[in-house]
Amino acid sequence: MRNIDLFNLHVAEVLGICFESFPVRPDIRYEDLGKNVYKRYASGTDEELFYNAQEYEELAAATVNWLTDAGYLWVGKKVYGAVKSVTLTPKSLELLNATPQALEMTESVGTILANGSKTLGRETALSVIRSVLAEGAKLAFSGNI
């Protein structure tokens, strides 16, 4: 599996956690985040995903850092192996409340990620996150954020 796909799966997990708990600010441990992505999306035949499982904690930290730098998350405090008091920014909340017409879904993206994340398939999660990040980029380039 490509690194960008693993990144997108981590994004789906982080945004789902934050949307589900909003406006309460959860703490996110990188190790737990990485394990959740592995458990949720690894299949018995996906050897590449299995071998990359050891690197998930590093990828989880990099994903949270990117989401923060890109304006999708506000983080209260960074500590070793975790971030504390994490919440969605207005930009990400708006994107997660949207219902993407291109994906022909009736629920908001945030609801899909929060409620459906336990049963959400890998390809669906990747499609949803690609849509969210694309819309976020459009907002950034148009100066609406």
pLDDT in tens, 17-51: 999 999 999 999 998 988 888 777 766 555 555 55
Residue 102's pLDDT band, with cuts at 50, 70 and 90, is very low
Closest CA to 12 of 54, 46, 63, 61: 63
Report the sign of the C-alpha dihedral through residues 130, 1, 51, 124, in that order.
positive
At residue 41's C-alpha, the angle toward residues 126 and 23, to 5°, is 65
Range of the domain at 11: 3-142
Average pLDDT estimate for 121-125: 67
3-state secondary structure of 50: helix
> pLDDT (tens digit, 9 = 90+) per residue, 104-119?
556 666 676 676 555 5
Residue 141 pLDDT greater than 60, yes or no: no
User: What pTM was estimated for this model as a whole?
Assistant: 0.71
Gap between the Cα atoms of 54 and 31, Å rounded: 10
Contact 91, 71 (CB under 8 A): yes
> For residue 97, is pLDDT > 80?
no
* Whether pLDDT at 122 is above 70: no
Maximum Cα–Cα distance across the chain: 44
Question: What pLDDT, on the 0 to 100 scale, is given for residue 44?
Answer: 56
Residue 93 has a pLDDT of 83
99 against 134, higher pLDDT: 134
Per-residue burial over 46-66, b if 16 or more Cβ lie within 10 Å, else e, is eeebeebeeebbebbbebbee
User: What pLDDT digit, counting tens, does each position of 45-73 carry?
Assistant: 555 555 555 577 888 999 999 999 999 99
Contact 33, 14 (CB under 8 A): yes
Instruction: Provide the domain count of the chain.
Output: 1
Q: Please list, in sequence order, all residues whose beta carbon lies within 8 angstroms of the beta carbon of residue 101, skipping any fewer than 6 positions away.
A: none
Chain segment 69-78, per-residue pLDDT in tens = 999 999 999 9
